[in-house]
Every structure is written in C-alpha cells, then in structure tokens.
Amino acid sequence: MADKIPYKTYLTEEEMPTQWYNVRADMKQKPAPLLNPGTGKPMTAEELSGVFCEELVKQELDNDTPYIDIPREIQDFYRMYRPSPLVRAYCLEKALDTPAKIYYKFEGNNTSGSHKLNSAIAQAYYAKKQGLKGVTTETGAGQWGTALSMACAYLGLDCKVYMVKVSYEQKPFRREVMRTYGAEVTPSPSDTTEVGRKILAEHPGTTGSLGCAISEAVEVAVSTEGYRYVLGSVLNQVLLHQSIIGLETHAAFKKIGVKPDVIIGCAGGGSNLGGLIAPFMGEKLRGEADYRIIAVEPASCPSFTRGKYAYDFCDTGKVCPLAKMYTLGSGFIPSANHAGGLRYHGMSSTLSELYDQKLMEAVSVEQTSVFAAAQQFARVEGILPAPESSHAIRVAINEALRCKQTGEEETILFGLTGTGYFDMVAYQKFNDGTMTDYIPTDEELEKSFATLPKIG
C-alpha cells in the first residue's frame, strides 16, 4: 500500500486485463434466455445470427465460461484510451467533510465521452472479422452512436446510426461528431424502413423513441447484405465487454491496498453498472467477499424500483427477441421534462436476475437532486459529469453524508461513466432554475404494464 493514496491510480499497460469476465459463469441461477416472440421458445444461435455477428452470438449465449480472451486488436484499441483512472475524490471528501473515502472510476476521457467505446470496439471488431461490410445501431443521447462511429472509423467499417429524432434535432453537435467519424446518421422514425414508415403513419408528429430506433436499425441490418445490428446496452455480450471497467478497478484497488465497501452505479440498460460490478459481484457469488452494490435510476424511469420482473419486448416495433427483465413495459415513455438519460424501459436480464436474487440494491432519485450533485461535483472535482453518471454521484454523496452522521470510515466507489459536454441544454435548465421533477403515478405505470406481452 502506498504511503498516500494518489489522486489517480492508473494500471500500466502490462497490468491491463487481457480477458473479460463473464459474471454469468458464477451465477447459480442463470439469467433467463431470450425468447423467440413467435414460438415463445429460447432463441437459438442460428436464429440470433441473422441479427448479430457469430462470435457475439456465442458470447450472448455463453453462461458458463468465466474468462474470455480479449483479442489482441481490441487490446490495442483499448490502449489508445485506457486504462482509465481510478480517482480518489479528495476534494469532494473535503467539501462534504466526511470520514468516508470516495473513489470513482472515470470512463469519460475519450471522444465518445463515455464507457460505451469499450463494447463498441468489440462489436465492430467481430463484425469486421466476420467479413461484414457494416453495422447498424440506434442512439438516443448519442454516446453509443459516437462510440460506434469511432470504432467503425478505426476498423474501416460502414456505420448506420438511427438517432431518436428529438435528439437528432436538439443535439446537432453529437450528430456532427458521428459524421466526422464517417457515420451515416438518420433521424428516427424515418421513411427508410418499413417499421419507420408504419410508426410515422400511426403517429405523424412523433419525435421518436429508443425502442422505435432499435426497430429501424434491426430491420436494416437483417434486410441488408453484409450488415448486422449492434446494441450498446442491455445484452449479455455488452456487460461482458464492459467488465473491463470493473476488472481495471479491481486491479487498481489491489495495487493501492484498498477494498471498497459500497459500489454505486447508474443504471439505464445496465451496461456500465454490469461492467463496473462484474468482478466484485463474482467474488460475492463465490462467497469470497461481500459488498453493498447499489443501482441508481431516475425516479421518472424506475424499472428496478417500480417495474415488473417479466418477459417484455425490447423495441417498439416488436421485431426483437423477448427478454426477461425488470421493465416498465415497452409502451413506457418518460415524461417530457425528463432530461437525465437512462430512459430505456427495461434493464439487463443479467442484472435483473441478480437484483431479483437480492444480491444488489436499487434506489431512484429525482433529476433536480441529480443535477445539484453534478454541479457540486463539477465545482470541486473539475469534471463536468454526464447527467447519467450524476445519478451515481447523487447517491455516493448521500452515502458519504450518512458516514458523516455515523462517523463510519467506509470506502465508497462509484462509476463516473462519462462527461456532460453535449448535455448543456439540461444543465442550462438547471442553471436557470426551470428544471422540474416528475414521478409517474401508479395509474400511469399500470397503463404501461398493460403493454407487456402475455407470455410465461
């Protein structure tokens, strides 16, 4: 252990993980399989390979192999922007006057602005290796679309992004970043797909949704020669790739002789949280260590804390397999004032199963309190956080203040998934004092639960 813990702990490039960790291998009760919506039976590798690359299908279905080699080419790409630092938040601790020790793993130091690049390069790599021409995807706020554009530019792969129309219009700069990386960006719903035309006919004025953009991207992938679909969250394969976050964190803690007590991550589809907690959850599953693990979600999109654990559609057009997950129903749309991201109606099947087994907790927080935490953090730690990440900051601060009251010297780790440079419209609302909160009523949730399929 160092005399003084440094502000930032970096692994050397030699110390960087060379394998991803698959938490499913250590789960006794595995996550529920994807189902074919037609037959109600588990999706086979063959069925999935029309949508996803072959190697990714293998990873998606592999519940048994604990460690999977990271191909050399992906390791090389990781070295361009990784290892990411494990930061000791000395200034935040001082500002809070807490005996708690606060650490964060910062994933925002790359142009995509978030952890999404970790899986984007993996998915693009396998597509390239399979000899494909390109990939399609959807993006909401644009972090995932940017990450995928970067990975495709690096590998020389075509990239078609369906961007939720409201974001396409309100975030022209995100779109330009993607275009700078050579991606083709289409506002969704669009008239370039059958499902898009159908949605436009039914809802002429719609500004789009993630679920709708997914349907369009999948349709293009399965109907275009040499293309496959890739997704930035929710899937098992994504959590596998994102385990690099947790593995680096685990190794960095070991290097400085520290063990966290509480691990906190924001949760939309679950990619960051699943990645951050992976090796720690593994220890917990194997009975080697115990940690409090907390998922944080928006009160306006509370899939863990108020959702149902059930099979649901992953997309609006219902072209995707069904997944068992904590969900608000695929018909759920967050209220119009929602500004903090994490707006997907469901949650990773793996995390849903772990949560159902009470191996982790979940809390929901309101957005004005999230932005207040973001501002406090920015002013003392010098990083303007993404609204998504700020959900974790909010709860980390709450936990540190609890320690202040009790005098406990707990070690708190949270995932700082990204930066908020493209989220200034939301920050402006907060700065102007015009940001409001919204918690859906029970009646509203009952209405969206009614969109759940009648299965299982």
The gap from C-alpha 173 to its chain's centroid, in whole angstroms, comes to 21
- Lookup result for tokens 């693009």: 124
The set of long-range contacts for 353-360, using a CB threshold of 8 Å and a minimum separation of 24, is 353/27, 353/29, 353/30, 353/31, 353/32, 354/23, 354/27, 354/281, 355/295, 355/304, 355/326, 356/309, 356/326, 357/29, 359/281, 359/284, 359/285, 359/293, 360/277, 360/281, 360/293, 360/294, 360/295
Which region, judged by CB under 8 A, interacts with a copy of itself, from 17-25, 40-48, 241-249, 380-388?
A: 380-388
Which region, judged by CB under 8 A, interacts with a copy of itself, from 77-85, 131-139, 260-268, 343-351?
A: 77-85
Rule CB under 8 A: is residue 153 a binding residue for a copy of itself? yes
Rule CB under 8 A: is residue 170 a binding residue for a copy of itself? no
Q: Please report, as residue ranges, which positions from 395 to 454 form the binding site for a copy of itself (by CB under 8 A).
A: 419, 421-422, 424-425, 427-428, 430-431
Rule CB under 8 A: is residue 176 a binding residue for a copy of itself? yes
Beta bridge partners, 219, equal: none
Rule CB under 8 A: is residue 287 a binding residue for a copy of itself? no
Rule CB under 8 A: is residue 384 a binding residue for a copy of itself? yes
Q: How far is CA 441 from CA 77, 302, 451, in A?
A: 45, 11, 16
Give the nearer residue to a copy of itself in terms of CB position, either 181 or 326.
181
Among 27, 132, 150, 320, binds a copy of itself (CB under 8 A): 150
Q: Please report, as residue ranges, which positions from 86 to 105 form the binding site for a copy of itself (by CB under 8 A).
A: 90-91
Q: How far is the CB of 81 from a copy of itself (least distance, A)?
A: 6
Across 238-369, where does the E strand assignment appear?
262-266, 292-298, 308-313, 322-327, 361-365
3-state secondary structure of 315: coil
Give the nearer residue to a copy of itself in terms of CB position, either 95 or 222.
95
Which tokens go with 61?
């279905």
Which region, judged by CB under 8 A, interacts with a copy of itself, from 4-12, 162-170, 198-206, 227-235?
A: 4-12
Instruction: Yes or no: say if 325 and 4 are a contact pair by the CB < 8 Å rule.
Output: no
CA atoms within 13 A on the CB side of 197: 6
Binding map of a copy of itself across residues 191-230, x = CB under 8 A, - = no contact = ----------------------------------------
Q: Which residues bind a copy of itself (CB under 8 A)?
A: 6-8, 10, 12-13, 76-77, 79-81, 90-91, 109-111, 113, 117, 150, 153-154, 172-173, 176-177, 179-182, 375, 378-384, 419, 421-422, 424-425, 427-428, 430-431
